[in-house]
Amino acid sequence: MQWTTDPSHSHLDFAVKHMGISTVRGRFKTFTGTFETNDQQALARVTVTADAASVDTGEPKRDDHLRSTDFLDAAKYPQIKFESDAITANGTGYVVSGTLTIHGQTKPLSFDVEVTKAIKDPYGKTRAAASGRGKLNRKDWGLNWNKAMELGGWMVGEEVQFSFDLEAIAAEPAKVG
């Protein structure tokens, strides 16, 4: 079965250490996701594409810097894309493995996902949700900008933690006749 994310009920978030003392959180405001489940309703395929220019940390100057050539270079690389190539059941959830493309570089990435059982909403649509989290090193994707701090350490942490809550709607079955 094919599923598509419902953007009004979904989030794609990230967090990075700032100056080694605090955490800056942000999100991508514009993204799409498609999923496939097999005949046993197990997760079989995942694709998520985010608009790099939609990065939002709540601070316009920082967001402009993240869109610039120092980081995402959103003008040259407008999309951030994850495509699964293996999904393994893991207790109550899954380990999703695939490739993530950021800043024109494609690298492997794996993360944990939990999926809810499907339900029928009050409007007759079938819905399910997935929640997950993982981490990556931004330098692996060429996001190298940083500044040394006077007393040691760096302005921006290398590790990026990400999380998501995605609600999806099943494609309507084809009508016969």
CB 39 within 8 A of CB 64: no
CB 3 within 8 A of CB 11: no
pLDDT digits (tens, 9 = 90+) for 86-111: 999 988 899 999 999 999 999 999 99
pLDDT digits (tens, 9 = 90+) for 44-67: 899 999 999 999 999 999 999 999
Show the 3-state SS of 3-37.
EEECHHHCEEEEEEEECCCEEEEEEECCEEEEEEE
* Cα(5)–Cα(3) distance, integer angstroms: 7
Length, in residues, of the chain = 177
Q: What is the mean pLDDT of the chain?
A: 92
Helix, strand, or coil (residue 63): helix
173 confidence band (pLDDT: 50, 70, 90): low
Q: In order of start, what are the domains of the chain with their CATH numbers?
A: 2-170 (2.40.128.110)
Helix, strand, or coil (residue 109): strand
